[in-house]
Structure 1
Amino acid sequence: MVDWKAVEEKWQKKWSEEKVFEPQIDERPKFFITVAFPYLSGHLHVGHARTYTIPDVIARFKRMQGYNVLFPMGWHITGSPIVGIAERIKNRDPKTIWIYKDVYKVPEDILWTFEDPKNIVKYFMKTARETFEKAGFSVDWTREFHTTNLFPPFSKFIEWQFLTLKEKGLVVRGTHRVRWDPVVGTALGDHDIMEGEDVQILEYILIKFILEENGEEVYLPAATLRPETVYGVTNMWLNPEATYVKAKVDGETWIISKEAAYKLSFQDKEIEVIEEFKGEKLIGKWVKNPVTGDEVIIFPAAFVDPDNATGVVMSVPSHAPFDHVALEDLKKNTELLLKYDIDPRILEEIAYVSLVELEGYGEFPAVEEVEKLGVKDQKDEEKLEQATKNIYKAEFHKGVFKIEPYKGKPVREVKELIAKDMKEKGIADVMHEFAEKNVISRFGNRAVIKILHDQWFIDYGNPEWKEKAREALANMTIYPESRRNQFEAVIEWLDKKACARKVGLGTPLPWDKEWVIESLSDSTIYMAYYTISRAINKHGIKEEQLIPEVFDYIFLEERSEEKERELSEKTGIPKEVLREMKEEFEYWYPLDWRCSAKDLIPNHLTFFIFNHVAIFRKEHWPKGIAVNGFGTLEGTKMSKSKGNVLNFIDAIEENGADVVRLYIMGLAEHDSDFDWRRAEVGKLKKQLERFYELISEFAQYEEKDVELMDIDKWLLHRLNKAIQESTKALEEFRTRTAVQWAFYNIQNDLKWYLRRTEGRDDEAKRSTLRKLAEIWVRLMAPFTPHIAEELWEKLGGEGFVSLAKWPEPREEWWNETIELEENHIKALIEDIKEIIKVAKLEDAKRAYIYTAEEWKWKVAQVVAEKRDFKASMSEIMKDPEMRKRGKEVSKLIQKLIKDRAFDFKRIDEEKALKQAKDFIESEIGLEIIINPDEDKGGKKRQAMPMKPAVFIE
C-alpha cells in the first residue's frame, strides 16, 4: 500500500527546493492567473477548495503547454469581521467560542489570544498557507503579502490607488444610505455582514394620512412600494397588539411603530417620542387620504408587522390580493368587529376603486387573481404571495393608469410621478428598509440603514467611468459566457459605494486618516502589486520609500532611465530594482485570468473591472474572468454556525490532496454548484489507487515500433480524443469535462481494452500500454500532481511532470473507422445479450450474424448525403442494378429517412466481427457464425448497415 501522505510531502518539498513555481522573466509567452485571495477569519472549507483549486489546475495545465506561468497568492484581512470576532471572544460569546474551538479546532491556549485581532490574522494566515501547500498549489510564495497597514508596503500601494482615484474625481464625499451596525457605530460592506449579505434595500414612500386629534393634525405615514395605488385606498390597517408611538418627526407629529421610530432615527430624522400605546387605541378611528380627501377607517390586522417599515399599512383591495382577502376574512370575524365596536355595515359598504387598465383582467385584478389561484383565506400565504407577484409585475410592465391627471400613462411612469408630486407637496416622505429583517453584522448585531453625511464614496455611478467599464467587459472573455449579462446589469445599477469605515483593520485614507479603507475597496487592483511584490520582499524596500511617484512610474509611465535615476535619488531604491519592478509589471500585465465564485459578481469582480479601467492604460486592462459555483456538504448548505462544515485541511488529511482535488474538479462545471459526499470520495480514492497500480505496472514495459492490431490502434485513437477534449475543456475552464476525459473515459477505455486483449501478452500490447501510461500521467498532472510526479519518476520521465510537455494528439493515431468498428462490436454484444434475456434463450448454443448486403450500404450512403426521399430515389435509380430492386430500395430509403440515419460512415462490418470473433464468443457464451450461406429464420434480409441481423438457436 502506498503512503500517499509521504508521496505528497516528498514532492511538495522537491517543488519548493527546486523553486519550480517561482517564474522569472524569459522569452516564453506569459500566463498570469489570480484568484480572489481568501478572507482569513477562519479555516477554508471544501467549498473554498473549489475556488482555489480551479486556477491551480489551469496554471499547471498552461505551464505544461509551455507558458511562463505566474500564480501568486496573498491574504485578505481588511475590515470589521476579524475585529468583531475578537470582540465576541473577549466577551466569551458561547457560539463564537464553539465555532473556533470545535468547528475550527483552534487549540485553547491559542484561542484566548484571539482577543487581539492581530493574533487571529497571524494564526489563520499560517494555517491557510499550510493548507495551500498541502493541497499542492503551484503558488509563487515569493510574492506573498497581506492587506492593511500591518503590511506597510501594500498599504502604500493602496494609498497610491486612492490618491489616483481621488485625483480623477472618482472618490467623492457626500450623503448616502449605508448598512450600519448601530452598536459598534460603523458602516457595513458586503464582507462585514454575517447574515443577509444579499438582502436588498427598499425605498418605501410614506404617505401621510391625516388623523384629526383634539384639533391637531397627526400623521399616520403609510409605507408603500406602490405610491400610485393611493387613489384606491379603502381603509387603513394597524396591528392592535403592536406598540406604536406618537412622536415629533422633524417638527411634525407622526404615529408609527416603536421599531420604525428607532430605524428612522438613523435616516436623517429628528425623532422625539411623546407617548407609547398599543395599536388597539386607534382601531375604528377615521383618517383622511391626503391625495383624494376621502375619509377611511382603521381596521385591526394581526398581519401588520410593526418591524416592517412604519407598521402603518394602507389597504387597496382592488389591486392588492392580501388586502382583498383580509377584508373578506374580517367580514366573517364578527367577534373581532364587536370587540372594536365596528359596524359590520361599514365593511359591506366598502367600494373598490379600479385604478389600472390591464389586458386580460377586468376592473379589479386582485380579486380575479385570488379567485384564479383558489385562495381561501389569509392562511394561504404561498398562493397570496404568488398572486401579489403576478399582479404587481403585470401592472408595472403592462398596466395603464385610469385616474386623472395621470390617465393614459403607463403604471411604471405614474409610480415615479405620483411619488415625486406627493413629496413636493409635503404629503409624502421616504424610508429605507431591508427587504428581509435579519441582516446581521459580523459583530453579531442587527444592522439598520443609516443616512451618512461626509462619508467617502467611490463614484461607480460616473457615466464616463461606466462606459469604459462596458468597453473593457466587451473585450473580455467571461466563463461561463452566460454570466456576461449579470456583469452588464451590475455595471448599470452600480452607484456610489461607501469605501471607508471608522473601525476595523485596513489602510487609512491618505488624506483623512480617521477613515479606514474597507475590504471591498482595497482588493480591486492588487493583482498589479503581485508583479512587484517579489522585488519589494526580496530587497526589503521600506514603506517610506514607496512614494506615489514610484507607483506612477511602474504602472502608468513609459520606461525611462532618467526617471529611474531621479526616483532612486529621491527614495533610495536602487535604480536596478526600480527597473526590475517596471520590467516585471510590463511583462506580466495585463492579467490573463481572474477567478472567483459567482457571489462576487455584484461587488468585487465588477469593482475589479472598474478600478482597472480607471487607473491603467488600455493595454493593461484585464483579459478574462472565470466564475465558479458553491459547494454543499452531503446535500446541505455549509454553515459554520451549525457545525455543518468540512475544513479544506481536514478533507486533505482524511483523503489525501489529490483525491480532494480530483473529486471537486470532477463534480461541477463553471458556476454550477457541487455536493461533497464522503461515500463518493471514498470510491474515487480506490479508483486513484487502481490508477497508480496500473501505471506502475505499465512503467515496466517498453515502447517499441511494432505492428499493432486494430484494438491497439483503437486505444491510441481514443487516447487522442482524450487529449483533444480535455485540452479544449481546460482552455475553457470546464474542469468537470476535462476530468471526465482525462480520467474516467481513459479508465473506461482501458478496462475495455484489457477485456478485449485478455490472454494477449505481446510487444504490441505492452508498447500500447506504455504509450498510454506516459500520456495518461501527464493528462492527470494538473488534477493529481503528487501522484503524477511519483508515477512520472517510475516511468523514467525527465525532470518534473509539472514541467513536462502537455500531450498533443498524434496525427497517425487518428482512426475514426476503427472506433466505429469497436462501437459496432460493443453494440452487437449488448444486442445479443438483450435477445437472450428477453427471449429466455439461456440454453442457446450459437448465434448467426448477418451483415447488410452491399446494395444497402450504397443506399445508406446516398440518403446520408441527400437527406430527402425524392432526391435519394432519383440518384439511386440511375444505377440499373438498383432499379431491379425498386420496391426494396424505396422501402429502405423511407426507413432511413424516418430514422434520420444521416450520420453515415462506412465500415467493414464483416472484417471487424471476424477479427473480434473469439472475444464476442467469450462475452456472450455462444458460438458465433458470421454470414453463413444458410438464411436462418429468414433473418438475413433484416440486416441493415451498422445493425446486423441475429438468429440464436
Structure 2
Amino acid sequence: MESRYLPKAIEKKWQEYWESEKLFSVKEDPSREKFFLLEMFPYPSGRIHMGHVRNYSIGDVLARFLRMQGYNVLHPMGWDAFGMPAENAAIKANTHPAKWTYENIDYMRSQLKKLGFSYDWSREIATCDVDYYRWEQLFFLKMYEQGLAYRRSSYVNWCETCHTVLANEQVEGGACWRCDQPVIQKEMDQWFFKITDYVEELLEYTEKLPGWPERVLVMQQNWIGKSYGSKLVFPLESGDGEITVFTTRADTLFGATFMSIAPEHPLVEKLCKGKPQEKEVLQFVERTKLSKRSDRETELLEKEGVFTGSYCINPVTQAKMPIYVANFVLMAYGTGAVMAVPAHDQRDFEFARKYGLPMKVVIKPQDAADIPKVEELTAAFEEDGVLVDSGTFSGMTSSEAREAITAGLAEKGRGERTVQYRLRDWGISRQRYWGAPIPIIYCDRCGVVPVPQEDLPVVLPTDVALLPNGASPLPVHEPFFKTTCPKCKGPARRETDTMDTFVESSWYFARFASAGYDKGPLDFDRVKYWLPVNQYIGGIEHAVLHLLYSRFFTKVLRDMGYLAIDEPFQNLLTQGMVIKDGSKMSKSKGNVVDPDEMIHAYGADTVRLFCLFAAPPEKDLEWSDQGVEGSFRFLSRVWRLVADNEEALKSATPYAGSAELSKTLSELHRKTHQTIKKVTEDIRDRFHFNTAIASVMELVNQLYQVLENPSQEAQFWPVVREAIEAVVLLISPIVPHVAEELWRTLGHSKSIMNVPWPKWEEDALQAEEMLIVVQVNGKLRSRITVSPDAGKEELEAAALGDGRIQDFIAGKPVKKVIVVPKKLINIVI
C-alpha cells in the first residue's frame, strides 16, 4: 500500500463502492431492532457550510456505529426546498426559483456525498416536488373538514420587506426571523391551523420527553404559556356591550381605575364613534399599528394612549372607568384589554402618572402596619400581600381574595376562574409565490369551496414572471387563479396564498419512512415500523418553531389515522454552533471556512475528525486551522501503523486471549479492551465523540511505543494486530474512508460497515497490578503497587511496610488506617 496517507486517492473510491453496493439502503425488517436517525434537513441555499458538516458528521457517526451494533438503521436526507430565500435569490439572479433550487440541490447533494455520509439516497425528498406537497394539500383538506384549518380576518404580523405574513413564532424581538426587519400589525384574511386545540396535550407531553434537552422543553412550555387566572367582565357604561379581561390578579380589582385596550381591539371604533375624541383616537390607532412590534413589546417603551370618550363599570366598586387605547396593549395576548391597577402594576403606574389618572391602594405588604398613601408612592407595589379598602374582602391574603372575588362575580355572571395560554393558532398563509398552494377556491355563489380530493394536486405554476419587489405573481397570473367552482361549475378564483414552509417540515420525517409510496401520503405499516424518530439532531434555534409544529402535526396525523405515535422525536440533540474568531461563522462577518476547500486540502475524513474532536456536540466548536492540521497528522499516524507493518500484520492472526503474554504485550492487550469499552460507552451513552477519539489516540501512542522495540515473542504481532484492528474499527464511524482502506489492507474481504462492532473482554480490563496512593494525615507520602484482588488487611500491611511511610511515621502511634478500595490508603498518626 502507499506509504503516505493520501485521502484523494481513496475517498472517491469508497464513496462509489458504498453507492454501488447500496450499503445504506434499508427496508423494514421486523426481525431486527430499528433505529431511525435523522438530522434536520437543510434548506438548499447553494453550498453546505461548516454548521452542516458538524451536524451531519454527528449523525453519521451514530448511524454507522449503530449499524455495526446490529440495528436496522434508517438514515435519510432531503431538502426543505420552498421559501422566500429561493425567490429573492432568483429575482436577484434573474432566474426561476425552481431552477435555482434544483441546481442547488444537485450541488449540495454532491458535497454531502464527498463527505461520505451514509444516507439512504433512495428516500431523498424535496418539499417543492409536486409528489410531496400534493399530500400536504390533502392534509389541509382533511383539517378543513375537521375545523382544524379555518380562515378569518385578523391582525397579523406583516413584514414589508418580505411582503408576507409571519406567525407569532416567526417574530423574534419584533423583527422578521428571515430578514431581521421590523414587523408591523396589519389586518388581513388569513388561513390558520388550530394548534390551540392541542395546547394541553402539547404542554402535558413536555413532561414525557426525557430524551429532550431541558432548555428546549422549558422554551416550549414558556411559549405555550399556561397561566391560571380569572376572566372578568366590565359592562360598558352605555349599557350596550362589555369588555372582558383576563387577569392573574383578581385580588387587585378594587384598585382598577381605568381600562386599557389594544389599538386593534374590535370595540375601538364603536367606543369613540361620535365622541369629540374620535379623530384623535383613529389617528393614534393608525400610527400605533404602523410602529414596530418590538417597540410595543419592550419594557422601555414610552407608554402612550388616548381616551376613547367612553367608560366601563368596575364590577365590584361600580365606579366609572375611562377606557383608553394604549400602545403597550397587544391584541395577540389575552383579550386585547387590560384592567389598569396603577398602584399595583408598574406599567399602569407610569401611564396613570403621565395622564393624571386616579390610583387606589388595595394591597399592602403582609408585615406593614400602615396602608401606603397614594401620594407617597414612587412605584407600584406588585407583590402579593393583604387586601385593604376592598369591602368585605379586606384582610384576606391575595391568594384567598383571588378565589373569593372571582367566585362572587361568577354568581352574578361577571367572572370565572379560567386558564389562558400564550400560544395562538398558527397562521399559515404566506403572500409569496414559492410555496405549496392552499387548495381552496372562492366562488361568488358558493363562498369558500375546498378543492375536491380527486382534483389534487393544485400545482404551483412554473411559467410565471417574478415581480421585482418580491410580491407574489400568483394573484395576477390568470391561468392559475381563474378556475371553475367545483359545486356550481360557475367562474371562481383560486386562493393565491401559499402555505408557510414550516408546514412541509412538520411531517417530512414520516414521509421518509414511506418514501416513494404513491397510494397515499403515508404507508401505515411502514411508518409504524420506523416511527418515532429515535434520535433527532439539529439546532436550538428550532426549539419553538419547527419542533412545536412537528409535535402538533404528529398529533393531528395520529388522530386522522395516518400515524400510531403521540410524539415524533424520541430523543433530541441540539448541537452547538461553529464559531471562528469569537463569533458564529457567517458571510457578513467574513469568517466562513469553505468545506470544499478543506476537503480538497485535507480530505473529508480530516474535516469530519476535527468537527467531532474539537468539542462535545452540545457545545460550540471553535474553528482552528492548527486543529485541522493536527487531525490530519493523527490520521497519517494511523495510516503508517498499517503501511509500515503491512506484511507482518497480514501474516498474523489477531490475539484470541489464551496464550501467556509479557508485561508489555499484556498492557497493550489491556489497553485495547479498555479503549473498546471507553469508545463504546462514550458514543452510545454520551455522544462524547471527543473523548472517544482521545482514547483511541492514547491507544495509538501505546502502539507506537510497543513497535519501537518489536520482540520475538510468538504473540507479538497477534497482539499488535488485535490492537490495530480495534483502532481501525473504532474510528470507522468517524473516518470511514481511511478505515475502509486500512481494513481491506489488513486482508479483510468485506466492507468494514458489515463487521460487528468490537466487544471488550471483562477479564482483559483487569490490571495485574494496581497503583495505590498512600497518605499520612491526608498528605501524599508514597505510592505502592499491589494486586487488584488485595484485601483490606493486605493493603494496610503493604502501606505500613513501605520504607517511605515508615520514615514519616518514625515510631509515632498509628491511630487508624483508612482504606478506600482501589484508590488510596490514609494513615492517621
TM-score (norm. length: structure 1): 0.56
SS at match of 2:757: coil
SS at match of 2:515: helix
Cα distance in 2 between the residues matched to 1:721 and 1:796: 25
Cα distance in 1 between the residues matched to 2:549 and 2:648: 52
Could you say if the C-alpha distance between residues 308 and 156 of structure 1 is closer, same or farther in structure 2, counting changes exceeding 3 Å? closer
Q: Deviations over 1:343-399 (max 9, x none)?
A: xxx99xx987353545799966999999xxxxxxxxxxxxx9xxx9xx86x54xx88
SS at match of 1:680: helix
Say yes or no: does 1:713 pair with 2:666: yes
- For 2:5, the equivalent position in structure 1 comes to 2
By how many angstroms is 1:143 displaced?
Answer: 1.8
Say yes or no: does 1:57 pair with 2:61: yes
Q: CA RMSD in A?
A: 6.0
Cα distance in 2 between the residues matched to 1:598 and 1:622: 17
Could you say if the C-alpha distance between residues 52 and 280 of structure 1 is closer, same or farther in structure 2, counting changes exceeding 3 Å? closer
Say yes or no: does 1:692 pair with 2:639: yes
- For 2:815, the equivalent position in structure 1 comes to 891
Equivalent of 1:193 in 172, 177, 180: 177
SS at match of 1:139: coil
For 1:32, the aligned partner's letter is: F
SS at match of 1:664: helix
Say yes or no: does 1:787 pair with 2:764: no
Cα distance in 1 between the residues matched to 2:47 and 2:683: 28
2:361·2:374 contact (CA, 8 Å) conserved in 1?
no
SS at match of 2:694: helix
- For 1:683, the equivalent position in structure 2 comes to 630
By how many angstroms is 1:680 displaced?
Answer: 3.0
- For 1:353, the equivalent position in structure 2 comes to 361
By how many angstroms is 1:769 displaced?
Answer: 2.4
1:321·1:367 contact (CA, 8 Å) conserved in 2?
no
Could you say if the C-alpha distance between residues 236 and 719 of structure 1 is closer, same or farther in structure 2, counting changes exceeding 3 Å? same
**Identity in percent:** 22
Say yes or no: does 1:140 pair with 2:120: yes
- For 2:682, the equivalent position in structure 1 comes to 729
Could you say if the C-alpha distance between residues 42 and 321 of structure 1 is closer, same or farther in structure 2, counting changes exceeding 3 Å? farther
By how many angstroms is 1:707 displaced?
Answer: 3.8
Structure 1 residue runs of 5 or longer lacking an equivalent are 93-110, 210-220, 238-246, 268-277, 299-303, 331-336, 371-383, 427-460, 462-488, 537-545, 557-583, 829-833, 836-848, 865-884, 906-943, 948-953
2:68·2:756 contact (CA, 8 Å) conserved in 1?
yes
- For 2:14, the equivalent position in structure 1 comes to 11
Say yes or no: does 1:171 pair with 2:148: yes
- For 1:576, the equivalent position in structure 2 comes to none
Equivalent of 2:725 in 756, 769, 774: 774
SS at match of 1:533: coil
- For 2:25, the equivalent position in structure 1 comes to 22
By how many angstroms is 1:129 displaced?
Answer: 0.8
- For 1:744, the equivalent position in structure 2 comes to 694
Could you say if the C-alpha distance between residues 294 and 43 of structure 1 is closer, same or farther in structure 2, counting changes exceeding 3 Å? farther
Say yes or no: does 1:626 pair with 2:610: no
SS at match of 1:520: helix
Structure 2 residue runs of 5 or longer lacking an equivalent are 171-175, 184-218, 235-243, 261-267, 293-301, 441-449, 452-457, 459-494, 798-808
By how many angstroms is 1:862 displaced?
Answer: 9.0
Cα distance in 2 between the residues matched to 1:752 and 1:6: 28
User: What does residue range 308-319 of structure 1 map to in structure 2 within 5 Å?
Assistant: 319=344
- For 1:180, the equivalent position in structure 2 comes to 157
By how many angstroms is 1:9 displaced?
Answer: 1.8
Could you say if the C-alpha distance between residues 598 and 356 of structure 1 is closer, same or farther in structure 2, counting changes exceeding 3 Å? farther
Of 173-182 and 596-605, deviating more is 173-182
- For 1:523, the equivalent position in structure 2 comes to 505
By how many angstroms is 1:74 displaced?
Answer: 1.4
Larger Rg: 1
User: What does residue range 901-940 of structure 1 map to in structure 2 within 5 Å?
Assistant: 901-904=819-822
For 1:86, the aligned partner's letter is: E
- For 1:465, the equivalent position in structure 2 comes to none
Cα distance in 2 between the residues matched to 1:622 and 1:279: 43
Cα distance in 1 between the residues matched to 2:536 and 2:796: 49
Equivalent of 1:130 in 110, 121, 126: 110
1:863·1:902 contact (CA, 8 Å) conserved in 2?
no
Of 50-59 and 653-662, deviating more is 653-662
- For 2:390, the equivalent position in structure 1 comes to 403
- For 2:48, the equivalent position in structure 1 comes to 44
Cα distance in 2 between the residues matched to 1:756 and 1:369: 81
User: What does residue range 624-703 of structure 1 map to in structure 2 within 5 Å?
Assistant: 624-634=570-580, 635-646=582-593, 648-649=595-596, 651-653=598-600, 655-669=602-616, 671-702=618-649, 703=652
SS at match of 1:15: helix
- For 2:467, the equivalent position in structure 1 comes to none
By how many angstroms is 1:60 displaced?
Answer: 0.8
Cα distance in 2 between the residues matched to 1:666 and 1:638: 18
SS at match of 2:436: coil
Cα distance in 1 between the residues matched to 2:142 and 2:794: 68
Cα distance in 1 between the residues matched to 2:645 and 2:374: 73
Equivalent of 2:36 in 29, 32, 37: 32
By how many angstroms is 1:144 displaced?
Answer: 1.4
Cα distance in 1 between the residues matched to 2:65 and 2:625: 28
Say yes or no: does 1:613 pair with 2:614: no
Cα distance in 2 between the residues matched to 1:726 and 1:366: 68
Cα distance in 2 between the residues matched to 1:400 and 1:710: 81
Equivalent of 1:815 in 766, 772, 785: 766
Equivalent of 2:540 in 574, 598, 617: 598
For 1:509, the aligned partner's letter is: P
By how many angstroms is 1:785 displaced?
Answer: 0.9
SS at match of 1:627: strand
For 1:180, the aligned partner's letter is: N
- For 1:454, the equivalent position in structure 2 comes to none
Could you say if the C-alpha distance between residues 690 and 24 of structure 1 is closer, same or farther in structure 2, counting changes exceeding 3 Å? same
By how many angstroms is 1:889 displaced?
Answer: 8.3
Could you say if the C-alpha distance between residues 662 and 32 of structure 1 is closer, same or farther in structure 2, counting changes exceeding 3 Å? same
Q: Deviations over 1:678-733 (max 9, x none)?
A: 4433333333333333343354433356642223222322322222232233334x
SS at match of 1:506: coil
By how many angstroms is 1:400 displaced?
Answer: 6.8
By how many angstroms is 1:586 displaced?
Answer: 6.5
By how many angstroms is 1:11 displaced?
Answer: 1.6
By how many angstroms is 1:659 displaced?
Answer: 2.4
Equivalent of 2:135 in 127, 136, 157: 157
By how many angstroms is 1:138 displaced?
Answer: 0.6
2:39·2:59 contact (CA, 8 Å) conserved in 1?
yes
Cα distance in 2 between the residues matched to 1:623 and 1:43: 27
User: What does residue range 268-417 of structure 1 map to in structure 2 within 5 Å?
Assistant: 291=314, 319=344, 353-355=361-363, 357=365, 395=384, 403-404=390-391, 408=396, 410=398, 414=402
Q: Deviations over 1:502-540 (max 9, x none)?
A: 534125437356254432223333334334435x6xxxx
1:77·1:146 contact (CA, 8 Å) conserved in 2?
yes
1:51·1:628 contact (CA, 8 Å) conserved in 2?
no
SS at match of 1:685: helix
Cα distance in 2 between the residues matched to 1:525 and 1:259: 43
SS at match of 2:555: helix
2:304·2:351 contact (CA, 8 Å) conserved in 1?
no
By how many angstroms is 1:808 displaced?
Answer: 0.9
By how many angstroms is 1:782 displaced?
Answer: 0.7
Could you say if the C-alpha distance between residues 786 and 324 of structure 1 is closer, same or farther in structure 2, counting changes exceeding 3 Å? same
Could you say if the C-alpha distance between residues 297 and 146 of structure 1 is closer, same or farther in structure 2, counting changes exceeding 3 Å? closer
Q: Deviations over 1:889-944 (max 9, x none)?
A: 85233xx2xxxx42337xxxxxxxxxxxxxxxxxxxxxxxxxxxxxxxxxxxxxx8
By how many angstroms is 1:773 displaced?
Answer: 0.9
